[in-house]
Chain A
């Protein structure tokens, strides 16, 4: 993983790191906010810093105009601000060209855009290979594509602890799938796929590759040029930005070949009642008035992330996940999922790519995740309890669901301690 070119060089990790200052930038988590919430559900959505909220406010109060059309100054400024975010995203994920950045409404809409856009390229002999631990957003659009084209969806098998079985992946790649859709980091377990290596193998077989980066983008430096996938999708709201905006990155040739899912304004070149020609990328895939304020908010979120010391943040989050796993594994009634036990027990900081990112999934043995969630909520703890939009993964693990605690850059050891204390109380009540 490389740093983005414009970030300041990392301070040495032994330099003081003012975590409190970061946390204070998030109004909902600041000390002024009462009652204080223990927020461990960043994987569902992150909290938003002042700067993001302010950027959106500022747009509505001082800069509100539609983009790409007005001849007047206000619209020209809105267009400049909107398009400047495309450049920021391009730099942030190391894309080669600004036209490769398509604004969407989120990861789900980005994946749907690709799955819909490929309809004319698939037929009944094709295989769509999907991640067995995927979020429903990276399963259902492919099922719909398969239904439209007669192609077959095949899930990649998982190991007993929920990681992709790489030998099954190799075996299925030998069947020359037309599409390979992977998660960068899984949402339910926080496990990391070696996407660069997996994409490279898929490309060698001629597959079109898509990586769902929703759970990766806030936690690790993403370099799409290095991953070399055809498509990479992520959401703004999981990276300290607003809801309602996301990004589809694509290689130019791959994007050019997508049939637009949405047609209408903004995306056309000429329209007559007989014939319409579509415009150039990226507009061709951005029909209708885009979520302008949200895109501007996303730009502020990228500025915010890049203003932090990325190495410190990464180290801080990994420490928290590690501490969370260690504290959970000390409780006798807890089952952890998708975790390498050797990682937990090692005293060294985990550096290998197999280490979970951002999230830890668990259950209290024999207890229903909903009971646990209710009793944690009673104590002001926000965690997600359910199937995590990954029912096939839950089925594979033999679970009805599980609880997931997830962290962001603003999380701290107190959050984890408070959560563990509350969980002990839950165990006390239930067991």
Chain B
């Protein structure tokens, strides 16, 4: 992907603790409504995504909604900033980043998206096999982390 504007380095930060903790709450949701509320809350807790970064060049293809992804490597740690204009997808992005943000190339290559989502009890529309774009996002994260290696 060639980008016309790069995000400031300061935007690439570890995820807020609320997200890593919040992901665990998904499993404990008492009903499907709670589960989705929790997913959307995770999306809200993602670090701010400035509007000027909503660029076509950063779009992850294969999503019904718009989703944007930027990457920066710091030593062998990979950081991402990402967002979507759909709230559920944004929450699913937060779930993926909870396991990949700040991780090494090897750790990211070992990330098992399907297993992670299964563990969280995310099936149906939320499973990576559906056309929600989650597989495309996870692949883009993996591809970024493999660059130059």
Residues of A within 8 A of B (CB): 367-368, 370-371, 374-375, 377-378, 385-386, 400-401, 425, 428-430
Contact = CB atoms under 8 A, between A and B. Distances in A.
Given A378-B125, A386-B64, A400-B66, A370 B89 contact: yes
A35 B126 CA distance: 19
Given A368-B65, A371-B87, 6 more contacts: A370-B86, A370-B88, A378-B124, A400-B65, A400-B66, A401-B64
Nearest to B133: A370
B149 interface: no
Interface stretch (B7-15, B19-27, B29-37): B29-37
A382 to B, nearest CB: 12
Contact of B88 (A374, A386, A400, A425): A374
Interface in B33-47: 33, 36-37, 40
Shortest Cβ-Cβ A-B pairs, 9 listed: A368-B86, A370-B86, A374-B125, A370-B65, A370-B64, A377-B125, A371-B88, A371-B87, A371-B86
A425 B33 CA distance: 9
Interface string B79-96: 000000111110000000
Interface in B87-141: 87-89, 124-126, 132
A378 B36 contact: yes
Contact of B124 (A371, A377, A385): A377
Nearest to A401: B64
Interface in B51-93: 64-66, 85-89
A383 to B, nearest CB: 13
A378 B40 CA distance: 15
Nearest to A428: B33
A380 B24 CA distance: 26
A368 B67 CA distance: 13
Given A378-B36, A400-B85, A429-B36, A370 B124 contact: no
Contacts, number: 40
A367 B87 CA distance: 8
Interface of B: 32-33, 36-37, 40, 64-66, 85-89, 124-126, 132
B131 to A, nearest CB: 9
A385 to B, nearest CB: 8
B87 A430 contact: yes
B134 to A, nearest CB: 12
Contacts of A374: 36, 88, 125-126, 132
A106 to B, nearest CB: 21
Contacts of A428: 33
Nearest to A367: B87
B132 A370 contact: yes
16 contacts: A367-B87, A368-B87, A370-B64, A371-B87, A371-B88, A374-B132, A377-B124, A378-B32, A378-B36, A378-B124, A386-B64, A400-B65, A400-B66, A401-B64, A429-B37, A430-B87
Contacts of A370: 64-65, 86, 88-89, 132
A393 B126 CA distance: 29
A385 B88 CA distance: 14
Contacts of A378: 32, 36, 124-125
A129 B32 CA distance: 48
B59 to A, nearest CB: 13
A385 B64 CA distance: 9
Nearest to B33: A429
Contacts of B66: 400
A375 B132 contact: no
A401 B86 CA distance: 12
Nearest to A375: B36
B67 to A, nearest CB: 10
Contacts of A385: 64
Contacts of B36: 374-375, 378, 429
A389 to B, nearest CB: 13
Given A378-B125, A429-B37, A368 B85 contact: yes
Contacts of B37: 429
A148 to B, nearest CB: 28
A430 B125 CA distance: 17
B133 to A, nearest CB: 9
Nearest to A386: B64
A43 to B, nearest CB: 18
Nearest to B36: A429
Contacts of B32: 378
A381 to B, nearest CB: 11
A391 to B, nearest CB: 13
Contacts of A377: 124-125
Contacts of A368: 65, 85-87
A29 B124 CA distance: 21
Contacts of B89: 370
Nearest to A430: B87
A425 B36 CA distance: 12
A371 B126 CA distance: 11
B116 to A, nearest CB: 19
A378 to B, nearest CB: 6
A368 B64 CA distance: 10
Contacts of A425: 33
A374 B36 CA distance: 10
Nearest to A368: B86
